[in-house]
């Protein structure tokens, strides 16, 4: 009968767990930081965000800007000179805020980036704790408003796919066509749609708030569809995160002439 250490010690990383508990938070942390770094860099570029009929999802809708996709023409003269301008900076706060306040991402970055807790049954670095009960995290409750914006953005992005079906030839004539870029942008809308429509706030709104599903606004089938998407919300969150960045990379590299956009039709 041998003896070992006492079990009451606490502190960051204290645990009797034997498995590789740190792998998941590490992977999540790297994934999120990688995305944030790339998205910030891409948003500040302000160039190479469109190519032919394609526009990068980071830059859509393009409220002001120089590409053919711009709604209201180039950068307005009243834009203060000291402020950096990029069409992405005008709009990215909306999808960014949506992801930042998403229930899934919240749970995962509280773990991966704030160690609260670092992993299940693993000791924490700080004793004090306020959770989402008071300022600042109580603000996370605005999530449903970001959802409304995200749904609006889905329409813009779907319209971009429609536009990505019409190519202008050298003579200036417009033809129907499908390029690899069209597919990239279409997949992006599908993934983002599956992510946003499976949102917990959507599930609540569409029927979850009622105790009797017959009262759901669009009927119980709609609620059930949202529930199916919601079950895999984490997966949709990651696939769509990866793909939206990839869509930007695709348009950017085509625009820079590094990649060639193959026409399928």
Q: Which one, 163 or 200, has the nearer CB to other proteins?
A: 200
19 class by beta-carbon count within 10 Å (0-12 exposed, 13-18 middle, 19+ buried): exposed
Closest CB to ligand FES among 215 and 232?
232
Give 138 or 152: the residue with its C-beta nearer to other proteins.
138
Instruction: Report if residue 144 touches other proteins, rule: CB under 8 A.
Output: yes
If one asks whether residue 152 binds other proteins (CB under 8 A), the answer comes out as: no
Contact between 136 and other proteins (CB under 8 A)?
A: no
Nearer to other proteins, 142 or 174 (CB): 142
d(CA 35, CA 32): 5
Residue 87 Cβ vs ligand FES, minimum distance, rounded to whole Å: 24
The residue among 130, 176, 184 whose CA lies nearest residue 157 is 184
* 163 binds, options ligand FES, other proteins, none, Cβ within 5 to 8 A by partner type: none
Rounded to whole angstroms, the Cα distance separating 188 from 147 reads: 17
Among 246, 250, 203, which Cα is nearest to 228's? 203
Q: Which of 109, 129, 132 is nearest to 24 (CA)?
A: 109
Counting contacts by CB under 6 A, is residue 201 touching ligand FES? yes
d(C-alpha 71, C-alpha 61), whole Å: 8
197 binding ligand FES? (CB under 6 A): no
Q: CA 43 to CA 237: how far, in whole Å?
A: 20
Tally of residues, the chain: 265
Nearer to other proteins, 46 or 117 (CB): 117
Cα 70 from chain centroid (whole Å): 22
Alpha-carbon 236 to chain mean position: 10
Binding residue for other proteins (CB under 8 A) from 124, 165, 225, 253? 124
Task: Report whether 192 contacts 185 (CB < 8 A).
Answer: no
Q: Which one of the spans 10-18, 102-110, 127-135, 213-221 is the region binding ligand FES (CB under 6 A)?
A: 102-110
Give whichever of 103 and 259 is closer to other proteins, judged by the CB atom. Answer: 103
The site for other proteins (CB under 8 A) is made up of: 1-7, 10, 15-19, 103, 106-107, 110-111, 116-117, 120-121, 123-124, 127-134, 137-138, 141-144, 200-201, 203-204, 208-209, 211-214, 220, 230-231, 233
The site for ligand FES (CB under 6 A) is made up of: 102-104, 143, 147, 199-201, 233
């Amino acid at each position: 009968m041998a003896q070992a250490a006492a079990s009451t010690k606490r502190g960051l990383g204290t645990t009797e767990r034997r498995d590789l508990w740190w792998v998941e938070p590490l992977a999540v942390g790297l994934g999120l930081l990688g995305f944030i770094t790339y998205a910030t860099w891409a948003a500040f570029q302000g160039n190479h965000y469109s190519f032919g009929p394609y526009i990068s999802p980071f830059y859509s809708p393009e409220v002001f800007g120089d590409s053919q996709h711009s709604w209201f023409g180039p950068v307005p003269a009243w834009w203060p000179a000291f402020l950096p301008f990029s069409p992405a900076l005008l709009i990215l706060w909306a999808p960014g805020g949506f992801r930042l306040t998403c229930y899934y991402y919240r749970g995962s970055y509280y773990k991966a980036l704030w160690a609260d807790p670092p992993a299940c049954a693993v000791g924490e670095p700080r004793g004090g704790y306020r959770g989402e009960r008071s300022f600042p995290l109580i603000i996370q409750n605005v999530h449903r408003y970001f959802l409304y914006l995200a749904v609006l953005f889905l329409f813009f992005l779907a319209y971009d796919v429609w536009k990505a079906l019409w190519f202008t030839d050298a003579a200036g004539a417009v033809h129907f066509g499908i390029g690899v870029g069209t597919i990239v942008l279409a997949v992006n809308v599908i993934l983002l749609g599956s992510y946003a429509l499976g949102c917990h706030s959507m599930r609540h709104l569409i029927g979850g708030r009622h105790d009797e599903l017959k009262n759901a606004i669009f009927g119980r089938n709609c609620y059930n569809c949202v529930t199916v998407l919601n079950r895999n919300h984490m997966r949709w969150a990651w696939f769509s995160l990866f793909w939206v960045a990839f869509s930007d990379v695709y348009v950017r590299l085509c625009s820079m002439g590094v990649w060639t956009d193959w026409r399928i039709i």
